[in-house]
């Protein structure tokens, strides 16, 4: 399994090998053994699948606060996305900084988004299936969000805000300035 660092500590791109033959390929998309060997978390308890119909759909920026904080291992099984993680660990030298990684059915890569990050993505194609593992269960009472187009974060989504397809909830999310992070410098509770 290939592991590539990003500029945000703990946020890494993992790409499992694909064994190609005359039929197609075979790939172990998740293995606790491979994750442990790479010193990465493997304690995932929930799998999510979201389908987005059209290019330019944005979901995010979301997290769950402790005690239900979620690390996420995100991959795109159909189409492609730009997957985004924003460091919101209080006291982190990269607080407020973001990374964006293209994930697709072609590249087979996954982004590990640790606890202490906001997460979101934009679809780069029509008909996108995003499949991700979470290290804690859904706990809607702990959900937090920040506007995807917050100017203090300044994510380049590749489309303008008025072109984006959003949920009603994401359209009403608050600003980064109002966001009081519940995460300490190690992504645990503050």
Ligand X SMILES: Cc1cn([C@H]2C[C@H](O)[C@@H](COP(=O)(O)OP(=O)(O)O[C@H]3O[C@@H](C)C(=O)[C@@H](O)[C@H]3O)O2)c(=O)[nH]c1=O
* String of DSSP letters for 45-58: -EEEEEEE-STTBE
The size of the interface with ligand X (CB under 6 A), counted in residues, is 12
If phi over 0 gives left and psi between -120 and 50 gives alpha, with beta otherwise, what is residue 45?
Answer: alpha
The answer to whether residue 90 is catalytic is: no
Tokens 């087979």, residue located = 108
Binding track, positions 131-160, relative to ligand X; x by CB under 6 A: -------x----------------------
**Token pair of 121, please?**
């993505």
Stretch that binds ligand X, among 37-45, 117-125, 154-162, 171-179 (CB under 6 A): 117-125
The rounded distance, in Å, linking the Cα atoms of 189 and 88 is 12
Q: Applying CB under 6 A, which of residues 75, 119, 133, 147 lies at the interface with ligand X?
A: 119
* 59 touches ligand X (CB under 6 A): yes
* 114 touches ligand X (CB under 6 A): no
Of 50 and 163, nearer to ligand X (C-beta) is 50
The rounded distance, in Å, linking the Cα atoms of 127 and 162 is 20
* 163 touches ligand X (CB under 6 A): no
The answer to whether residue 119 is catalytic is: no
Q: Applying CB under 6 A, which of residues 50, 54, 163, 175 lies at the interface with ligand X?
A: 50
* String of DSSP letters for 70-103: --EEEEEEESEEEEEEEE--TT-TTTT-EEEEEE
Catalytic residues: 62, 132
Q: Which residues bind ligand X (CB under 6 A)?
A: 48, 50, 59-60, 62, 72, 119-121, 138, 167, 169
């Amino acid at each position: 399994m290939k592991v590539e660092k990003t500029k945000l500590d703990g946020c890494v791109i993992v790409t499992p090998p694909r064994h190609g033959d005359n039929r197609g390929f075979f790939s172990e998309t998740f293995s606790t053994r491979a994750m442990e060997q790479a010193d990465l978390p493997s304690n995932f308890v929930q799998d999510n699948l979201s389908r987005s119909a059209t290019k330019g759909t944005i979901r995010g920026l979301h997290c769950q606060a402790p005690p239900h904080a979620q690390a996420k291992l995100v991959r795109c099984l159909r189409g492609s996305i730009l997957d985004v993680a924003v460091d919101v660990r209080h006291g982190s030298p990269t607080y407020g900084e973001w990374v964006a990684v293209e994930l697709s059915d072609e590249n087979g890569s996954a982004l590990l988004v640790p606890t202490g990050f906001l997460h979101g993505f934009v679809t780069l194609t029509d008909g996108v299936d995003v499949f991700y593992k979470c290290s804690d269960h859904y706990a809607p009472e702990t959900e937090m969000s920040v506007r995807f187009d917050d100017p203090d974060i300044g994510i380049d989504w590749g489309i303008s805000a008025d072109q984006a397809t959003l949920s009603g909830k994401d359209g009403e999310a608050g600003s980064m300035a109002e966001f009081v992070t519940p995460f300490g410098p190690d992504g645990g509770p503050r």
